[in-house]
Structure 1
Amino acid sequence: MRITLLSLLLLCLAAATPARAELHITRDHGGYVEEYKAKYKRVREKGERVIIDGICNSACTLVLGIVPMNKICVTPRASLGFHQAYYDKAFTFGIKVTSSEGTSDLMSYYPDTVKDWIRRNGGLTTDMKKIKNGVELWKIIDPCPEEW
Protein backbone atom coordinates (compact mmCIF):
# COMPACT_ATOMS: atom_id res chain seq x y z
CA MET A 1 0.00 0.00 0.00
CA ARG A 2 1.38 3.35 -0.99
CA ILE A 3 0.71 6.36 1.22
CA THR A 4 0.78 9.68 -0.54
CA LEU A 5 1.43 12.98 1.12
CA LEU A 6 -2.17 14.03 0.41
CA SER A 7 -3.67 10.90 1.99
CA LEU A 8 -1.43 11.33 5.03
CA LEU A 9 -2.51 14.96 5.35
CA LEU A 10 -6.21 14.01 5.08
CA LEU A 11 -5.77 11.28 7.70
CA CYS A 12 -4.14 13.74 10.11
CA LEU A 13 -6.88 16.28 9.49
CA ALA A 14 -9.61 13.70 10.15
CA ALA A 15 -7.94 12.62 13.39
CA ALA A 16 -7.62 16.22 14.60
CA THR A 17 -11.23 17.19 13.85
CA PRO A 18 -13.51 16.59 16.83
CA ALA A 19 -16.55 14.45 16.17
CA ARG A 20 -19.91 16.21 16.44
CA ALA A 21 -21.82 13.58 18.33
CA GLU A 22 -25.48 14.43 18.54
CA LEU A 23 -28.68 12.64 19.39
CA HIS A 24 -31.67 13.97 17.45
CA ILE A 25 -35.01 13.23 19.06
CA THR A 26 -37.74 13.63 16.47
CA ARG A 27 -40.55 11.21 17.28
CA ASP A 28 -40.04 9.39 20.55
CA HIS A 29 -43.16 8.23 22.38
CA GLY A 30 -41.23 6.59 25.23
CA GLY A 31 -40.90 3.04 26.42
CA TYR A 32 -39.20 1.17 29.22
CA VAL A 33 -37.73 3.55 31.81
CA GLU A 34 -34.65 1.43 32.55
CA GLU A 35 -33.73 1.33 28.85
CA TYR A 36 -33.94 5.12 28.63
CA LYS A 37 -31.86 5.55 31.77
CA ALA A 38 -29.10 3.39 30.27
CA LYS A 39 -29.32 5.12 26.88
CA TYR A 40 -29.06 8.62 28.33
CA LYS A 41 -26.25 7.67 30.70
CA ARG A 42 -24.24 6.56 27.63
CA VAL A 43 -25.08 9.87 25.91
CA ARG A 44 -23.93 11.79 29.02
CA GLU A 45 -20.70 9.78 29.35
CA LYS A 46 -19.84 10.40 25.68
CA GLY A 47 -20.52 14.13 26.09
CA GLU A 48 -23.03 14.07 23.26
CA ARG A 49 -25.43 16.90 22.57
CA VAL A 50 -29.16 16.28 22.39
CA ILE A 51 -31.42 18.12 19.99
CA ILE A 52 -35.12 17.73 20.69
CA ASP A 53 -36.59 18.32 17.25
CA GLY A 54 -40.05 16.84 17.64
CA ILE A 55 -42.01 14.68 20.07
CA CYS A 56 -40.30 13.56 23.29
CA ASN A 57 -42.92 11.88 25.47
CA SER A 58 -43.00 9.67 28.52
CA ALA A 59 -39.66 7.95 29.32
CA CYS A 60 -37.98 10.05 26.62
CA THR A 61 -38.23 13.05 28.97
CA LEU A 62 -35.72 11.39 31.33
CA VAL A 63 -33.11 13.00 29.09
CA LEU A 64 -33.79 16.21 31.03
CA GLY A 65 -32.53 14.68 34.27
CA ILE A 66 -29.66 12.55 33.00
CA VAL A 67 -27.94 14.58 30.27
CA PRO A 68 -26.65 17.99 31.44
CA MET A 69 -29.10 20.73 30.47
CA ASN A 70 -26.32 22.71 28.77
CA LYS A 71 -26.04 19.80 26.30
CA ILE A 72 -29.75 19.84 25.40
CA CYS A 73 -31.66 22.24 23.17
CA VAL A 74 -35.04 22.42 21.45
CA THR A 75 -36.06 23.38 17.93
CA PRO A 76 -39.38 25.02 16.97
CA ARG A 77 -40.84 21.52 16.36
CA ALA A 78 -40.10 20.29 19.91
CA SER A 79 -42.70 19.15 22.43
CA LEU A 80 -42.49 17.25 25.70
CA GLY A 81 -45.13 14.97 27.19
CA PHE A 82 -45.35 13.80 30.81
CA HIS A 83 -47.61 11.27 32.57
CA GLN A 84 -47.57 8.87 35.51
CA ALA A 85 -45.51 5.72 35.19
CA TYR A 86 -47.50 2.58 34.52
CA TYR A 87 -46.85 -1.11 34.12
CA ASP A 88 -46.57 -2.72 30.69
CA LYS A 89 -50.15 -3.32 29.58
CA ALA A 90 -49.11 -6.70 28.15
CA PHE A 91 -48.82 -7.93 31.75
CA THR A 92 -51.96 -6.19 33.06
CA PHE A 93 -54.47 -7.57 30.52
CA GLY A 94 -54.48 -4.27 28.58
CA ILE A 95 -55.38 -2.19 31.62
CA LYS A 96 -53.25 0.85 32.44
CA VAL A 97 -52.09 0.21 36.02
CA THR A 98 -50.13 3.13 37.40
CA SER A 99 -47.04 2.77 39.57
CA SER A 100 -46.56 5.28 42.38
CA GLU A 101 -43.02 3.96 42.90
CA GLY A 102 -42.23 4.34 39.19
CA THR A 103 -43.74 7.83 39.13
CA SER A 104 -41.64 8.87 42.16
CA ASP A 105 -38.57 7.48 40.41
CA LEU A 106 -39.31 9.52 37.27
CA MET A 107 -39.82 12.69 39.30
CA SER A 108 -36.53 12.13 41.14
CA TYR A 109 -34.64 12.53 37.85
CA TYR A 110 -36.28 15.73 36.64
CA PRO A 111 -34.62 19.10 37.29
CA ASP A 112 -36.53 21.60 39.45
CA THR A 113 -37.74 23.55 36.42
CA VAL A 114 -39.53 20.44 35.12
CA LYS A 115 -40.90 19.52 38.56
CA ASP A 116 -42.24 23.07 38.95
CA TRP A 117 -43.98 22.94 35.55
CA ILE A 118 -45.54 19.56 36.42
CA ARG A 119 -46.77 20.87 39.80
CA ARG A 120 -48.21 24.04 38.23
CA ASN A 121 -50.10 21.85 35.76
CA GLY A 122 -51.74 19.56 38.31
CA GLY A 123 -49.04 16.95 38.84
CA LEU A 124 -48.53 13.75 36.91
CA THR A 125 -51.73 11.91 36.01
CA THR A 126 -52.63 9.11 33.62
CA ASP A 127 -53.28 11.76 30.96
CA MET A 128 -50.38 13.12 28.92
CA LYS A 129 -49.52 16.72 29.77
CA LYS A 130 -47.66 18.44 26.97
CA ILE A 131 -45.40 21.44 26.69
CA LYS A 132 -45.17 22.71 23.13
CA ASN A 133 -42.46 24.96 21.79
CA GLY A 134 -42.61 28.47 23.13
CA VAL A 135 -41.91 30.51 26.24
CA GLU A 136 -43.00 27.76 28.66
CA LEU A 137 -40.63 25.26 27.09
CA TRP A 138 -37.80 27.80 26.86
CA LYS A 139 -38.00 28.33 30.62
CA ILE A 140 -36.89 24.70 30.90
CA ILE A 141 -34.66 24.13 27.85
CA ASP A 142 -32.79 26.63 25.71
CA PRO A 143 -33.67 26.94 22.02
CA CYS A 144 -31.01 25.44 19.77
CA PRO A 145 -28.41 27.86 18.47
CA GLU A 146 -28.28 28.09 14.68
CA GLU A 147 -24.97 26.19 14.45
CA TRP A 148 -26.53 23.08 16.06
Structure 2
Amino acid sequence: MKIVTGLLAAVLLITGVGASHAVVRISEDRGGRIGTYVDKYEDLKTSGESVMIDGLCASACTIVLGAVPRDRICVTSRANLGFHAAWDFGSNGRTITNPEATQMLYSMYPPSIKRWIAHRGGLTPRMIFLRGRQLANMYRPCYLDAQASVHQPLPR
Protein backbone atom coordinates (compact mmCIF):
# COMPACT_ATOMS: atom_id res chain seq x y z
CA MET A 1 0.00 0.00 0.00
CA LYS A 2 2.88 2.33 0.81
CA ILE A 3 4.31 1.83 -2.69
CA VAL A 4 0.95 2.58 -4.33
CA THR A 5 0.53 5.76 -2.27
CA GLY A 6 4.06 6.85 -3.12
CA LEU A 7 3.50 6.11 -6.80
CA LEU A 8 0.25 8.12 -6.81
CA ALA A 9 1.97 11.05 -5.10
CA ALA A 10 4.81 10.92 -7.65
CA VAL A 11 2.35 10.88 -10.57
CA LEU A 12 0.46 13.85 -9.12
CA LEU A 13 3.70 15.74 -8.54
CA ILE A 14 5.03 15.00 -12.04
CA THR A 15 1.77 15.96 -13.74
CA GLY A 16 1.36 19.11 -11.70
CA VAL A 17 -2.06 18.04 -10.42
CA GLY A 18 -2.65 18.46 -6.71
CA ALA A 19 -4.87 16.01 -4.89
CA SER A 20 -7.44 18.76 -4.36
CA HIS A 21 -7.63 19.71 -8.05
CA ALA A 22 -9.76 17.31 -10.05
CA VAL A 23 -9.69 17.29 -13.84
CA VAL A 24 -12.87 16.87 -15.83
CA ARG A 25 -12.23 15.09 -19.14
CA ILE A 26 -14.47 15.97 -22.09
CA SER A 27 -14.50 13.46 -24.92
CA GLU A 28 -17.09 12.49 -27.53
CA ASP A 29 -19.62 15.07 -26.36
CA ARG A 30 -21.95 16.01 -29.23
CA GLY A 31 -23.74 18.69 -27.22
CA GLY A 32 -27.41 19.19 -26.51
CA ARG A 33 -29.65 21.86 -25.03
CA ILE A 34 -27.82 25.13 -24.37
CA GLY A 35 -29.44 25.66 -20.95
CA THR A 36 -28.32 22.26 -19.72
CA TYR A 37 -24.71 23.05 -20.62
CA VAL A 38 -24.84 26.55 -19.15
CA ASP A 39 -25.95 25.03 -15.82
CA LYS A 40 -23.41 22.22 -16.00
CA TYR A 41 -20.51 24.55 -16.74
CA GLU A 42 -21.57 27.12 -14.15
CA ASP A 43 -21.18 24.36 -11.57
CA LEU A 44 -17.82 23.41 -13.08
CA LYS A 45 -16.66 27.04 -13.04
CA THR A 46 -17.41 27.43 -9.34
CA SER A 47 -15.91 24.03 -8.46
CA GLY A 48 -12.38 25.14 -9.38
CA GLU A 49 -11.85 21.94 -11.38
CA SER A 50 -9.77 21.97 -14.54
CA VAL A 51 -11.01 20.76 -17.93
CA MET A 52 -9.19 18.46 -20.34
CA ILE A 53 -10.68 18.39 -23.83
CA ASP A 54 -9.67 15.02 -25.23
CA GLY A 55 -11.82 14.28 -28.27
CA LEU A 56 -14.99 15.73 -29.74
CA CYS A 57 -16.66 18.65 -27.96
CA ALA A 58 -19.37 19.93 -30.29
CA SER A 59 -22.36 22.22 -30.29
CA ALA A 60 -23.42 23.26 -26.76
CA CYS A 61 -20.40 21.43 -25.32
CA THR A 62 -18.22 24.28 -26.62
CA ILE A 63 -19.84 26.66 -24.11
CA VAL A 64 -17.12 25.37 -21.75
CA LEU A 65 -14.68 27.72 -23.52
CA GLY A 66 -16.50 30.78 -22.20
CA ALA A 67 -17.71 29.37 -18.89
CA VAL A 68 -14.46 28.02 -17.48
CA PRO A 69 -11.40 30.30 -17.19
CA ARG A 70 -8.90 29.72 -20.01
CA ASP A 71 -6.09 28.88 -17.57
CA ARG A 72 -8.14 25.89 -16.37
CA ILE A 73 -8.64 24.41 -19.86
CA CYS A 74 -6.15 22.25 -21.70
CA VAL A 75 -6.44 20.35 -24.98
CA THR A 76 -4.94 17.05 -26.07
CA SER A 77 -3.84 16.20 -29.60
CA ARG A 78 -7.24 14.49 -30.03
CA ALA A 79 -9.28 17.60 -29.10
CA ASN A 80 -11.80 18.59 -31.76
CA LEU A 81 -14.25 21.47 -31.22
CA GLY A 82 -17.37 21.70 -33.40
CA PHE A 83 -19.37 24.93 -33.77
CA HIS A 84 -22.68 25.64 -35.51
CA ALA A 85 -25.75 27.86 -35.22
CA ALA A 86 -28.33 27.02 -32.57
CA TRP A 87 -31.51 25.44 -33.88
CA ASP A 88 -35.01 24.32 -32.94
CA PHE A 89 -37.44 21.89 -34.48
CA GLY A 90 -39.93 23.62 -36.79
CA SER A 91 -43.61 22.76 -37.08
CA ASN A 92 -42.86 20.21 -39.80
CA GLY A 93 -40.23 18.48 -37.63
CA ARG A 94 -37.27 19.89 -39.55
CA THR A 95 -34.57 21.91 -37.87
CA ILE A 96 -34.62 25.69 -38.22
CA THR A 97 -31.93 28.12 -37.12
CA ASN A 98 -32.75 30.10 -33.99
CA PRO A 99 -31.05 33.51 -34.46
CA GLU A 100 -31.58 34.65 -30.84
CA ALA A 101 -30.13 31.45 -29.37
CA THR A 102 -27.27 31.57 -31.90
CA GLN A 103 -26.40 35.12 -30.81
CA MET A 104 -26.57 34.09 -27.15
CA LEU A 105 -24.27 31.12 -27.85
CA TYR A 106 -21.80 33.29 -29.76
CA SER A 107 -21.76 35.89 -26.98
CA MET A 108 -20.58 33.24 -24.50
CA TYR A 109 -17.34 32.54 -26.35
CA PRO A 110 -14.03 34.24 -25.52
CA PRO A 111 -12.69 36.81 -28.05
CA SER A 112 -10.19 34.42 -29.70
CA ILE A 113 -12.94 31.90 -30.45
CA LYS A 114 -15.29 34.64 -31.71
CA ARG A 115 -12.56 35.84 -34.11
CA TRP A 116 -11.93 32.30 -35.34
CA ILE A 117 -15.66 31.75 -35.95
CA ALA A 118 -16.08 35.15 -37.64
CA HIS A 119 -13.20 34.41 -40.03
CA ARG A 120 -15.11 31.29 -41.12
CA GLY A 121 -18.39 33.03 -41.85
CA GLY A 122 -19.95 32.94 -38.38
CA LEU A 123 -22.20 30.35 -36.82
CA THR A 124 -24.28 28.71 -39.56
CA PRO A 125 -26.16 25.41 -39.81
CA ARG A 126 -22.92 23.90 -41.18
CA MET A 127 -20.54 22.56 -38.51
CA ILE A 128 -17.03 24.05 -38.47
CA PHE A 129 -14.20 22.38 -36.58
CA LEU A 130 -11.32 23.83 -34.59
CA ARG A 131 -8.54 21.30 -33.98
CA GLY A 132 -4.88 20.60 -34.43
CA ARG A 133 -2.36 23.44 -34.61
CA GLN A 134 -5.01 26.20 -34.64
CA LEU A 135 -6.52 24.90 -31.40
CA ALA A 136 -3.11 24.29 -29.85
CA ASN A 137 -2.24 27.95 -30.54
CA MET A 138 -5.27 29.06 -28.50
CA TYR A 139 -5.19 26.68 -25.51
CA ARG A 140 -2.39 25.09 -23.57
CA PRO A 141 -1.64 21.44 -24.19
CA CYS A 142 -2.58 18.96 -21.52
CA TYR A 143 0.59 17.94 -19.74
CA LEU A 144 -0.54 14.32 -19.48
CA ASP A 145 -1.04 14.19 -23.25
CA ALA A 146 2.46 15.55 -23.87
CA GLN A 147 3.97 13.05 -21.46
CA ALA A 148 2.01 10.15 -22.95
CA SER A 149 3.34 10.90 -26.41
CA VAL A 150 6.92 10.98 -25.12
CA HIS A 151 6.74 7.74 -23.14
CA GLN A 152 4.95 5.43 -25.55
CA PRO A 153 6.70 2.08 -25.98
CA LEU A 154 8.73 1.52 -29.12
CA PRO A 155 7.37 -0.95 -31.70
CA ARG A 156 8.97 -4.40 -31.62
TM-score (norm 2): 0.77
SS at match of 1:28: coil
Give me the whole-angstrom Cα distance separating, in 2, the residues matched to 1:142 and 1:124: 24
Contact 2:21/2:48 (CA < 8 Å) preserved in 1?
Answer: no
1:137 aligned to 2:138?
A: no
How many pairs does the alignment contain?
129
The within-5 A match list for 1:110-121 is 110-121=109-120
Letter in structure 1 aligned against 2:138: I
1:92 is displaced (CA, Å) by: 4.0
Give me the whole-angstrom Cα distance separating, in 1, the residues matched to 2:33 and 2:91: 15
Deviations 1:34-92 (A, max 9, x none): 000000010110101000000000000000000001000000110000000001x3x64
Give me the whole-angstrom Cα distance separating, in 1, the residues matched to 2:93 and 2:142: 39
Q: Which residue of 2 aligns with 1:68?
A: 69
After TM superposition, what 4+ stretches of structure 1 lie above 2 angstroms from structure 2? 17-20, 91-94
Q: Which residue of 2 aligns with 1:13?
A: none
Q: Which has the larger radius of gyration?
A: 1
Letter in structure 2 aligned against 1:61: T
The within-5 A match list for 1:7-22 is 18-22=19-23
1:139 is displaced (CA, Å) by: 2.5
Indicate the RMSD between aligned Cα atoms, in angstroms. 1.7
1:20 is displaced (CA, Å) by: 3.2
Letter in structure 2 aligned against 1:105: M
Letter in structure 2 aligned against 1:74: V
Contact 1:51/1:73 (CA < 8 Å) preserved in 2?
Answer: yes
SS at match of 2:106: helix
TM-score (norm 1): 0.81
Q: Which residue of 1 aligns with 2:6?
A: none
Contact 2:23/2:50 (CA < 8 Å) preserved in 1?
Answer: yes
SS at match of 1:97: strand
Unaligned runs of 5+ in 1: 1-16
Letter in structure 2 aligned against 1:101: E
Give me the whole-angstrom Cα distance separating, in 2, the residues matched to 1:52 and 1:94: 33
Letter in structure 1 aligned against 2:128: K
1:142 is displaced (CA, Å) by: 1.4
Q: Which has the higher helix share?
A: 2
Give me the whole-angstrom Cα distance separating, in 2, the residues matched to 1:96 and 1:141: 32
1:136 is displaced (CA, Å) by: 0.7
Q: 1:92 to 1:27 in 2, by over 3 A?
A: farther
Identity of aligned residues (%): 42
